[in-house]
C-alpha cells in the first residue's frame, strides 16, 4: 500500500520492518514472491529492489517460489506460508488481507487470524 497500488514499493517494506525493529521486535519475516526480484515490466512497476536484496541478506525477506511454465508465471500461494509461520511461531500477521479462505481451511488458523492479524496503513512515509 506504500506505493498507492500503482507500484510495488520495497521502501514500504523497509519502513514497516524498521517500525517493528525500533520497538524491539527482532524476529521479523517478510514473504515476497520471488518474481519481485525480476526486472520490472511497465505494467508491474517496482521501486528500490535493492532493499529486498539487503533484507534478504539480513534474513528478514524470504522469497516464495515461482516458476515459468509455457511462458506463464506460476506462483505458490504465499498466504499459506505467512499464516503457517506466524501460527507455528506464536507470532503476528501484519497484513490488510483477512485470509478468509485460510480461516475456513483450518479451525486453529481461524482463531489465530482473528486474534493475531494486525492491519496497517501508510501516511506518506509514516507507517
Give the tens place of pLDDT for each residue, 11-62: 999 999 999 999 999 999 999 988 888 777 777 788 899 999 999 999 999 9
Nearest by Cα to 3 from 37, 44, 33: 44
Domain count, the chain: 2
Q: What is the pTM of this model?
A: 0.85
What domain range includes position 87? 77-121
Q: Which three cell numbers stand for residue 46?
A: 517496482
CA distance 71 to 77: 19
Residue with cell 478468509: 100
Summarised one tens digit per residue, pLDDT across range 68-117 is: 777 777 777 789 989 999 999 999 999 999 999 999 988 899 999 999 99
Question: What's the pLDDT score for residue 125?
Answer: 92
Does 3 share its domain with 47?
Answer: yes
- The CATH number covering residue 63 comes to 3.40.50.11980
Please classify residue 4 by burial: count the beta carbons closer than 10 Å to its beta carbon, then call 0-12 exposed, 13-18 middle and 19+ buried. exposed
Nearest by Cα to 66 from 56, 77, 55: 77
Residue after which a domain boundary falls, among 47, 69, 91? 69
Residue after which a domain boundary falls, among 27, 52, 69? 69
Amino acid at each position: 500500500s506504500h506505493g498507492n497500488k500503482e507500484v510495488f514499493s520495497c521502501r514500504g517494506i523497509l519502513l514497516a520492518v524498521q517500525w517493528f525493529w525500533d520497538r524491539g521486535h527482532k524476529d521479523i519475516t517478510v514473504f515476497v514472491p520471488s518474481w519481485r526480484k525480476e526486472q520490472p515490466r511497465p505494467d508491474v512497476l517496482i521501486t528500490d529492489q535493492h532493499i529486498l536484496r539487503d533484507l534478504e541478506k539480513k534474513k528478514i525477506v524470504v522469497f516464495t517460489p515461482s516458476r515459468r511454465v509455457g511462458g506463464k508465471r506460476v506462483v505458490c500461494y504465499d498466504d499459506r506460508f505467512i499464516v503457517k509461520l506466524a501460527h507455528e511461531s506464536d507470532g503476528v500477521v501484519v497484513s490488510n488481507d483477512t485470509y478468509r479462505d485460510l480461516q475456513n481451511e483450518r479451525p486453529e488458523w481461524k482463531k489465530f487470524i482473528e486474534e493475531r492479524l494486525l492491519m496497517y496503513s501508510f501516511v506518506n512515509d509514516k507507517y
